[in-house]
């Protein structure tokens, strides 16, 4: 499903070299590494937000290496959620569907479905700034999932949440993974992915040896 081969990327003093990864459909892979090891950059490379120097990225059998981000079948959940502050929760979730020129009624139906799945239907008219961290995350997740990505990239999705919310959110991610979507979850905290991931991978830029556990 997701195949990254020998990725190489350089920005400033950061140099990523020889990063490879193979994930099957439905895999939940945790990419573990300390802060500053370039985990987020790897996600951005897969999403096409940065341009690779070398290597290839193949998603669902299609070579996406030079594909612009808007055409990649990838959804990304940022650590700070990146909700559009000038749009309501409803407009945030509906926005990617509007881009795809879907009919107004279909958009409404889909937004309401996802909102009820993620338990945010009562917040649809609110503005993002008035939401709590957990609510923001669920809105961002709904906005990403609504486009049915083949691969979901999660950037430290649990680290900014308080303990009770973290468990709730982990449960939600588990539920999402059961839909068969391939997930790559980057984190510095191994404990948070123990119950979630079926595969783990350690990444350290200073010693770029990968240890894959299945």
| Residue 214: CB minimum distance to another protein, A | 28
Q: Which is nearer to another protein, 143 or 199 (CB)?
A: 143
Short-list 98, 44, 72, CA closest to 150: 72
| Residue 9: CB minimum distance to another protein, A | 16
| Residue 71: CB minimum distance to another protein, A | 8
| Residue 145: CB minimum distance to another protein, A | 11
Q: Which is nearer to another protein, 72 or 199 (CB)?
A: 72
Contact status, residue 141 vs residue 185, Cβ threshold 8 Å = no
60 DSSP 8-state letter: T
Q: Which is nearer to another protein, 17 or 50 (CB)?
A: 50
Count H helices and E strands in the chain, helices first.
5, 10
Q: Which is nearer to another protein, 61 or 85 (CB)?
A: 85
What are the Cα distances from residue 163, in Å, to 127, 134, 169?
Answer: 25, 11, 10
What are the Cα distances from residue 138, in Å, to 40, 55, 117, 119, 161?
Answer: 20, 33, 10, 8, 12
Contact status, residue 46 vs residue 184, Cβ threshold 8 Å = yes
The residue ranges that bind another protein (CB under 8 A) are 44, 47-49, 68-70, 72, 74-76, 78, 80, 82, 84-86, 88, 95-96, 99-100, 126-127, 130, 143-144, 147
Q: Which is nearer to another protein, 17 or 150 (CB)?
A: 150
| Residue 200: CB minimum distance to another protein, A | 25
């Amino acid at each position: 499903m997701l195949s990254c081969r020998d990725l190489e990327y350089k920005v400033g003093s950061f140099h990523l070299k020889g990063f490879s990864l193979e994930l099957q459909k439905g895999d939940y892979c945790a990419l573990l590494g300390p802060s500053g090891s370039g985990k987020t950059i790897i996600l951005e490379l897969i999403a096409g937000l940065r341009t690779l120097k070398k290597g290839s990225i193949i998603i669902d059998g299609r070579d996406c290496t030079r594909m612009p981000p808007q055409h990649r079948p990838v959804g990304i959940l940022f650590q700070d959620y990146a909700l559009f502050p000038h749009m309501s929760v409803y407009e945030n979730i509906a926005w990617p569907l509007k881009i795809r020129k879907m009919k107004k009624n279909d958009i409404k139906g889909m937004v309401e479905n996802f909102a009820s799945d993620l338990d945010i239907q009562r917040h649809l008219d609110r503005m993002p700034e008035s939401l709590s961290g957990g609510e923001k995350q669920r809105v961002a997740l709904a906005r990403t999932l609504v486009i049915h990505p083949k691969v979901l990239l999660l950037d430290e999705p649990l680290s900014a949440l308080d303990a009770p919310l973290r468990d709730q959110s982990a449960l939600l991610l588990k539920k999402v993974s059961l839909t068969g979507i391939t997930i790559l979850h980057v984190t510095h905290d191994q404990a948070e992915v123990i119950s979630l991931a079926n595969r783990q991978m350690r990444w350290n830029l200073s010693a770029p040896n990968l240890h894959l556990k299945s």
